[in-house]
Structure formats: C-alpha cells, structure tokens
Amino acid sequence: MGNYRFILSGGGTGGHIYPAVAIANELKRRYPDAKFLFVGAKDKMEMEKVPQAGYEIKGLWISGIQRKLTFKNLMFPFKLMNSLLGARKIIKEFKPHVAIGTGGFASGPLLRMAESSGVPCVLQEQNSFAGITNKLLAGKAEKICVAYDGMERFFPKEKIVKTGNPIRTDLIELKENKQEAANFFGLDDNRKTVLVLGGSLGARRINQLIEKELGFFQKNQLQVLWQCGKLYFDDYKKHNSEAVKVSAFVNRMDLAYSIADVIISRAGASSVSELCLVGKPVIFIPSPNVAEDHQTQNAKALVAKEAAILIKENQLDAVFEDKFSELLKSESIQERLGTNIKKMAMPKATEHIVDEIEKLLK
C-alpha cells in the first residue's frame, strides 16, 4: 500500500521547518502516491516556506507564551482552544496514518489531537536541550528521534532513537574543491579563509565582532567570507574588498565550506549538524536569545567531545583574539577539532527517521 496520508507540523523557525520538509521529501521518495499535509502557525514563516517546497499547509491561530505579562499571554488560552478545535477538524478530515512533529507552536495542538484520535505520532527533537512542545508531547508519542546523547533526561528512554538531524542533500556528498570555490567567491586559494555564518537573517553581535576584528584578520594574512544576513547587508557591504567578501546570503554553501579553514557560526541545531558533516574547526558563538538557551547547550555537547570551541557573546571582547590565535597557530588543535566534529556526523539522519515512521505503518 503506497497511498498513505502523512500529516507534519513544525515551524516558527527554519530549524523546525527544514527537518519537516526533509522528512516529507524522503517519505515522498519512498511512497510517490502518498498524500501530505503540513500544519503551521498562521503568521509564521512556515506558511511561506512549506508551499515553496511544494506542499500544502493549513494554519492554526497559535503562538507561544511571552516571558513577561502581555496582552498576547492573556490571549493564549483562547488561541490554544481555537487551535485544538482547528487541529481536531483537520485530523478528522485528512485521516492521517502517522503524525510527525518537529517542534514549534503548531505541532503541540496538532499532535495532541492526533494521538487522542488514535493516530501514531513521531517527534523529532533537533536540539541537545529539548523544546517545551516536544517535552509536553513526549508521553504520548510512539517514537522520539533525537540528535544527541543524554536525551533521557527529557524523554522516556524506551521511546528514544538517536538518528541525527536531517541535512541538506547537496551537503551529504560534500567534495573539497578549493580552486572552484576561490574562483566562485573571488578569493585567493593560497590564503587561509575564515567563513562567518550568522544565519539567513544575520546575527548582530557576530557582525559587530567581525567588523571590529577585520584589522586582526588582515594582520594574520587571512581572508574572510562573511555571510552577514539580509537584515545587516546594507550596514556591512562597505567592507567588501579583495580579502573580505560580504554577502547577505551564501547560495553555494558547498563551495563556502570547501574553502573554509576556520568557521565562526551560531549553534542552531541544523547548523551544528551540517558542520559535523563538514569536519572543519569551528568556533561557536551561540545566540543567547533563543528558548531554553538551546544553542549554548548544543555547542557545549560538542565542546565536551573536544569537537568545537565555544565563546559566549558576553566574553567576545575579552577572549576572542586569544582563542582565535591559539587555534590559528596550532595545526594539531585544528586537526583534533576537525576530526572529532566529523565523528559526530550523521549523514543518513533523514533516512533513519523515515525508517522509524515506516515501522509504525506496518
């Protein structure tokens, strides 16, 4: 039987949306006749990103709880009731065989209603510190696919399967091609390159750091490939030069990773999973502004295995140059970090997650 119906929910950030789409793509590859429906939060980015990926999506009126008392918080019980009723109606009409949640506000009501209707549920948790939605849903899920060790502090041990996080397919076959990368970005393939990644929107504190350290990089004969994000491009494009390439967005990540000798990055779950595959020395500067400070937890999980360097935002001015210089001068540290992070790569994550979903179809 190939005409299964799969319902998926994950959103709020690319870190929840991308895994859901990757899982759907793999299910579609195995079951070309299957039907798919995504459920998201009405005003969030999944409402745009999921149709771009070729899937239908329905929106629920839901949002998270703010940390301080606001009008939005007073609205939360109404939104929750409205979303639970909306989710129940969607489940009733679509009649899914399996429901898959990758985190984010909308997956709470949807999976809650799915399991109460007898639909088996699979959760996928990207971070080393579980999100609140997945923690609340864990008791009723059949399987919980995770990317890190030690997740039994959040979830029932017998439900956990360590699969890793879905990774963009173009990066799984990553080949080192320094010459092509140098030509593509207009860089010198004989010079060491620092790749700076702040996410698609950008990271203000990382951008401020890189601007401040341009002289330091120049003094060390380094060139910089700097993805500053679309919110900040107008502020930083003035630094474009022979040795500094500033862009809002890097279209060819495979080539960017090829030419990089050292990578400076945020520590979102999908970034961490990609960087494990790349196997280069990484300095993580986690965003302190995310729920449960999960980026710091993600980075710490790698630091514990001597697979990365972690510098908190509030320590950057004091320690960045020292830590960077130490890394730059030591081939053995570079090699150790690159080798250890590569050991943590799980390139077949999407396939393993779908294997777990298939078991529920049997």
Say if residues 228 and 236 touch (Cβ distance below 8 Å): yes
| Better-scored residue on pLDDT, 264 or 14 | 264
CA 350 to each of CA 22, 34, 244, 285, 356: distance values in angstroms, whole numbers, following the listed order: 7, 17, 36, 27, 10
**Could you give the percent of the chain with pLDDT greater than 90?**
75
Annotated binding site: 13-15, 127, 168, 200, 295
Give the whole-number percent of the chain exceeding pLDDT 70.
Answer: 96
Q: Same domain for 227 and 295? A: yes
84 and 194 assigned to the same domain:
no
Contact 196, 225 (CB under 8 A): yes
Same domain, 286 and 157: no
Annotated binding site for UDP-N-acetyl-alpha-D-glucosamine: 13-15, 127, 168, 200, 295
* In a shared domain, residues 265 and 145: no
Residues 58 and 207 placed together within one structural domain of the fold = no
Q: Which tens digit of pLDDT belongs to each residue from 181-205?
A: 999 999 999 999 999 998 777 799 9
This prediction has a pTM of: 0.88
Write out 260-304 in H/E/C secondary structure: CCEEEECCCHHHHHHHHHHCCCEEECCCCCCHHHHHHHHHHHHHC
Shared domain check, 174 and 139: no
The CA distance from 60 to 312, in Å, is 36
User: Does residue 355 share a domain with residue 247?
Assistant: no
Mean pLDDT for 293-303 is 94
Residue type, 300: K
Q: Is the pLDDT of residue 235 over 80?
A: yes
Tally of structural domains, the chain:
2
Does 237 have pLDDT greater than 80? yes
Whether residue 84 is found in the same domain as residue 179? no
In tens, the pLDDT along 61-108 reads 876 555 556 666 667 677 778 788 889 999 999 999 999 999 888 899
Same domain, 83 and 192: no
What is the average per-residue pLDDT within 301-309? 96
Same domain? For 149 and 276 the reply is no
**Contact indicator for 10, 17 with CB cutoff of 8 Å:** yes
Would you state the torsion angle of the CA atoms of residues 156, 158, 164, 166, taken in this order, to the nearest 10 degrees? -80
**What was the pLDDT predicted at 106?**
84
Tokens of 284: 């993580």
Query: What does the pLDDT average to over 38-66?
Result: 85
Question: Cα separations (Å) of 133 from 22, 57, 90, 222, 273?
Answer: 20, 20, 19, 43, 21
Tell whether 218 and 69 lie within a shared domain: no
Residue span of the structural domain in which 246 resides: 170-343
Give me the CATH number covering residue 244.
3.40.50.2000
Contact 142/119 with Cβ under 8 angstroms? no
Euclidean distance between CA atoms 62 and 80, whole angstroms: 6
Could you tell me if 15 and 147 lie in one domain? yes
